[in-house]
Amino acid sequence: MPHDHVAMTASPPPTAANANANAIAKPPRRARGRPTREEGEALRKSILDAALAVFIARGFEAASMEGIARAAKVAKITLYRHYETKDQLFVEVARRAQLSVRERLGTVAEPGMPLEAALHQIITKLYDGYTHPDYLAVMRMVIAEAGRFPKLGRAMLDDSAHISAPLVDYLQALKDAGQIDIDSPYDAALQISGLASGAGRYVLLTPGRHPVSRRRSVESLVTLFTRAWRPQA
């Protein structure tokens, strides 16, 4: 049975004009080089977010680099390029969780705000940071793995000074203006942070995050500090 044949027309040989037109229509693809800074930061964030979720869900011991890479949707070799060991990755996750409290604190208080309102704003932000479920889950793992990471506790204490720095500066300004009577703004900042964080009890007993419970806790601390620090007439 005869077969039908489709006639194929040969393309004309390229001319200089055609070559120039093609060059304009299809610019050469840029060779892929090193990722931009923004791309690198986005990748690092996605890895740390995935690691946090895996550590919380499975615990440090059961978590694996393979599982974290899978959760982050990156190749395992990419993960190892950023973090050589699971220990190194856990330390980064733990310190990042603590520094997230500093991010939540943001601007401590608006200039000229009355003392009670300023303290209410500051303590609320600290309370929300220190009682966040992710923060508490990481702190519990840090305590459980303290023997494995003897230097992590010291590093996190150093980080706490960074968290308190804006609050220390704010209290120093209030002291200089004669609005509060305190000896050491640094010690006062530690007192606020310590009580807002539950003085460690929230790590053992999950705090109530109901709005009423949160308001009572914050207001009691505001009353405590304003009465203690207000200059005597």
Residue range 181-189: mean pLDDT, rounded: 94
pTM: 0.73
Domain ranges of the chain: 36-84, 91-229
Whole-number mean pLDDT of the chain? 81
Q: What is the CATH number of domain 91-229?
A: 1.10.357.10
The predicted-structure confidence for 143-183, as pLDDT tens digits, reads as follows: 888 888 888 878 887 777 777 888 898 999 999 989 899 99
pLDDT recorded at residue 2: 44
Q: Are the C-beta atoms of 141 and 127 separated by less than 8 Å?
A: no
**CATH number of the domain located at residue range(s) 36-84 in this protein:** 1.10.10.60
Nearest to 199 by CA among 147, 130, 141, 134: 130
CA 195, CA 198: separation in Å to the nearest integer?
A: 5
Distance CA 80, CA 86 (A): 9
